[in-house]
Chains A and B, each alone.
Chain A
Amino acid sequence: MPAVELKNISKRFGSTVACDQIDFTVELGEIHCLLGENGAGKSTLMKILFGLYSADAGSVVLRGTELSLRGPSDAIAHGLGMVHQHFMLVDRMTVTENIIAGQETTRHGLLHRSGARDDILALSRRYALHVSPDSLIEDISVGEQQRVEILKALYRRAEILILDEPTAVLTPQETAELFSIIRKLKQDGKTIILITHKLRETMAISDRVSILRDGRCVGTLETAKTSPEELARMMVGREVLLRVEKTPMQRGESVLEIKDLEVDSPGGGLHKVSLELHAGEILGIAGVEGNGQLELEEALLGLREIRSGSVVLRGKDITGAPTKLRRMAGLAHIPSDRLRRGLVERFGAGWNLILGSQWQWPFARRGVLQPKTIEENARTLIRDFDIRGASGAVDAGDMSGGNQQKLVLARELSREPEVILACQPTRGVDVGAIEYIHNRLVKKRDQGKAVLLISAELDEVRALSDRILVMYEGQIIAERPENCDESELGLLMAGHTVERAEGAAQAVTTDTGQKGAIDA
């Protein structure tokens, strides 16, 4: 008897069909990946399973019984657990308090905390979910917070666990740990559903994989009998080149020099960050999110105060210059937060494509916008960058993530910049668009432009960069050449020193040769 059977599920939001007659079956005790691009309907489908949305049509069958779930609490009562992409934890409460919230055991009418604490400790030992039950959520790492979320589900006796993009926020090492936890859960008879758009992870962890595309399930495969190429093709609907084609670098003169940059921030800021970026190269900055990348990005753009140090762009000191001047001096920026920074959701494509140039000829003349040139510009860029669904009066906020990113990319690259600051350029973007964006960046580099790539995706940094800097706690702790060892980079990202990382990396490669998460 399957653990979960979703039959003929359909769900619409307004005129958008999120799920279109999807059949989806998960066997008891398997690890099942739900693979698909953004907007394919993965999360919607799982939210229907978890009772957060109700389906317009179709039925949900759990272990042979058809159910109509009225809400998440109903789903939990039926042995489902879900770990959302954005954790639902109270920062100022302890791990224990977060886990038992809503399920408090009482004794004589009082909270029986020590009993709960023991239960949690037992659970965490059993599945190697290491957390300290008395720490405050705000004091523990993202990886630990995720473990708390998993514990929360287990504490509520979840037998079927849904994890929504669980690796998005983890270092490669944390990912490996998570995967070993998932395997332990499986050994214990739990059923795991993993929502993801990452091919590598799907290949590494799952028993079976179902692929969603445009709200339809285009197939369920046994992982052992498929390949990343096949999965990518099914996800996108066409052949996808998974590798970036790159010619050797033609390194030019230095165009961006950052010296001893110090930036204050509640998150830790930057300490003595120095780097030099040359024309014709892609310099990658690897690091787990929240280690100063955002501060670096904002400081370079003039959106965050620089305490000391200097930034020189093509011979011009721009340390204290306003954003406008920096952009005019040839700096283009693909922001990490596309929705908050990159575009105005309520503007259409035309206006978004001139953001930053709205006072400049030919888009404006003496403060009067020139609709004809703006339209012309939009038409050209929409065609050249293959931006879909951007016609007429469609707000940018109503476009898909990949197309929004192409919109930002089109605007920034069409400004003929000398230096391109590309921050998480493919975040939330589907495989097809990733290929496209990567090729565009490489093309700019081949044209002799300089690209500073800040990305939390190790694959991306390794695929694109000619040189890699590793950032940890606001400092640049190492520089690595183009084809450096991946597990070594992973260790550096986790804050290991260069010597230790080198040693450890060797230990990993010479070790058991066990099929881990990273090398799959």
Chain B
Amino acid sequence: MRELLRRLGAAFSRVAAIAGVRDLAYSVFAVFLALGVGALLIFAFGYDVGRAFSALFQGAFGSVRAVSQTLTRATPLLFTGLAVAVAFKVGLFNIGGEGQMYWGALASAVVSLALVGLPVFFIIAGAVIAAALAGALWGVVPGVLKAQTGAHEVITTIMLNSIAVLGTTHLTANYFKAPGAVDQTMRLPVEARMPHIIDGTGIGYGIVIGICVVVAVHWLFKRSSLGYDFQAVGFSPGAAAYGGIASKRMIVLSMALGGAMAGIAGSMVVLAQLGRFVTGFSPGYGFTGIAVAVLGRTHPWGVLLAALLFGALEAGGMTMQLSARIPNDLMTVVQGLVILFVAAPGLMKIFPSLRPKGGTKESSHVA
């Protein structure tokens, strides 16, 4: 058994070593491992594994509707994932995606309602920009606290999440409430919502906006002086200071940028899913974004792939529950396992030849 595992791992890492895709390969491997364990669980609970996976696949990719479901769920996760990834490049853990997203969602709802009547392009543009600004402002708060006082961003962003959720509830209930029992804004007319790429498919422009942002973020880190500064601060604060980089400014800027990403996530939910702001609407997109960023190794394209995977698992999980009567919770377990395998490289050491990248670092300390 152990020999088999070793060979499997060796073969896999040979493939992975090609073209420096080791990180990607590692994540893919973790996904398959998690799905494998998921299959065992499904089997253990007495369900039909084949049926479960076929339902999962059908629900995620089996039809145009399924694909649209996957993309609709993936889009907010893509942005909350980027919110974490961007801050992480500067060495910060932005756990505040949830709160930043709430402000973004409320801002986009209010602005798009105000813009109703204009061509849909302007409504969407206005709503997304407003969401980005609102999220950025909420991201700046922990950024400034970190830069000026050293307050740890994990603590502050977690606290600010609660304030954001309750703050948006307060504002909605008191100022933007639509008539009715639920604390929510007015409904956006259908023609003011995220348009579909091809009519009738349900596939909206959200994912297109997402891909554009991924390209922009990738460019920022690979080709811009600002991205250089971000990463220098993230990798080596000492060297950054030495190189004349204003670390504090980079901390605030990256949190603003991360906040903007999370804010846009909120606008995606409002414009493409709910059609309005509903208090307490999020099933934890901001937190799942952390998992997405980890799985995507904080690389923008990696985050996109990870978001698509999570979107697919959620869309497919729903179908699995409906048609095969297997609890959707199992897919949440699979998501959890993916993260466990990615974030705890030690677990992967059962495959002796497949060690995460950091494992070879010892070699540089040979003296």
Interface residues, chain A, CB within 8 Å of chain B? 13-16, 18, 38-39, 41-44, 301, 303, 322-325, 327, 333, 335, 337, 340-347, 351, 355-356, 358-359, 364, 367-369, 371, 393, 397-398
Contacts and interface: CB of A to CB of B under 8 A. Distances in A.
A301 B235 contact: no
Contact of A324 (B20, B239, B244, B366): B244
A41 B365 CA distance: 10
B336 to A, nearest CB: 29
B225 A368 contact: yes
B243 A14 contact: no
B149 interface: no
B225 A14 contact: no
Given A341-B242, A393-B20, A42 B367 contact: yes
5 contacts: A14-B360, A323-B243, A341-B241, A346-B235, A346-B236
B148 interface: no
B364 A397 contact: yes
B229 interface: yes
User: Which label, helix, strand, loop or mixed, suits the secondary structure of the B interface?
Assistant: helix
Contacts of B229: 358
B199 interface: no
A369 B224 CA distance: 5
A341 B238 contact: yes
Given A342-B239, A356-B243, A13 B223 contact: no
B174 interface: no
A41 B366 contact: yes
Interface in B329-367: 359-364, 366-367
A344 B232 contact: yes
A355 B231 CA distance: 12
B226 interface: yes
Given A14-B360, A364-B225, A393-B20, A341 B366 contact: no
A369 to B, nearest CB: 5
Given A343-B239, A345-B235, A355-B232, A369 B223 contact: yes
A305 to B, nearest CB: 13
Contacts, number: 94
A18 B366 contact: yes
A367 B366 contact: no
B366 A369 contact: no
Contact of B364 (A43, A335, A398): A398
Given A14-B360, A369-B224, A358 B367 contact: no
A168 to B, nearest CB: 12
Contact of B235 (A322, A344, A359, A368): A344
B242 A43 contact: no
Contacts of A344: 231-232, 235-236, 239-240
A113 to B, nearest CB: 36
B176 interface: no
Nearest to B366: A18
Given A14-B360, A16-B363, A369-B224, A323 B244 contact: yes
A322 B243 CA distance: 11
Contacts of A333: 242
B224 A13 contact: no
A303 B235 contact: no
Contacts of A356: 242-244
B228 interface: yes
Nearest to B362: A13
Nearest to A325: B244
Given A18-B363, A347-B231, A342 B242 contact: yes
Nearest to B241: A303
B224 A345 contact: no
A90 B224 CA distance: 45
Contacts of A303: 241-242
B231 to A, nearest CB: 7
A268 to B, nearest CB: 21
Interface of B: 20, 223-226, 228-229, 231-232, 235-236, 238-244, 246, 359-364, 366-367
A359 B246 CA distance: 13
Contacts of A41: 366
Contacts of B231: 344, 346-347
Given A344-B231, A345-B235, A13 B366 contact: yes
A419 B228 CA distance: 26
Contacts of B241: 303, 323, 341
B239 A355 contact: yes
Contacts of B243: 323, 355-356, 358
Contact of B366 (A39, A368, A371): A39
A14 B363 contact: yes
B136 to A, nearest CB: 19
A323 B242 CA distance: 7
A347 B226 contact: no
A502 B306 CA distance: 71
B28 to A, nearest CB: 21
Given A39-B366, A344-B231, A393-B20, A358 B225 contact: yes
B224 A43 contact: no
Contact of B228 (A43, A323, A351, A393): A351
Given A367-B225, A368-B223, A340 B238 contact: yes
The 7 closest A-B pairs by CB, nearest first: A324-B244, A13-B363, A14-B360, A43-B367, A16-B363, A340-B238, A356-B243
A134 B235 CA distance: 42
Contacts of B239: 340-344, 355
Given A42-B367, A398-B363, 10 more contacts: A13-B363, A13-B366, A14-B362, A43-B367, A44-B367, A325-B244, A355-B242, A359-B225, A369-B225, A397-B364
B297 to A, nearest CB: 13
Contact of A347 (B20, B232, B362, B367): B232
Interface centre among A16, A344, A347, A371, by most B CB within 10 Å? Answer: A344
Nearest to A401: B367
Contacts of A341: 238-239, 241-242
A301 B364 CA distance: 29
A371 B223 contact: yes
A42 B366 CA distance: 8
Nearest to A37: B367
Contact of A367 (B226, B238, B240): B226
Contacts of A325: 244
Nearest to B244: A324
Contacts of B240: 344
Contacts of B235: 344-347
A308 B242 CA distance: 22
A393 B231 CA distance: 16
A38 B367 contact: yes
A339 to B, nearest CB: 8
A470 to B, nearest CB: 27
B217 to A, nearest CB: 15
A120 B233 CA distance: 48
A38 to B, nearest CB: 6
Contacts of A38: 367
A15 B363 contact: yes
Nearest to A404: B364
Contacts of B363: 13-16, 18, 398
B224 A322 contact: no
Nearest to A19: B366
B366 to A, nearest CB: 4
A333 B239 CA distance: 12
Contacts of A44: 366-367
B207 to A, nearest CB: 27
Contacts of A347: 231-232, 235
A398 B363 CA distance: 8
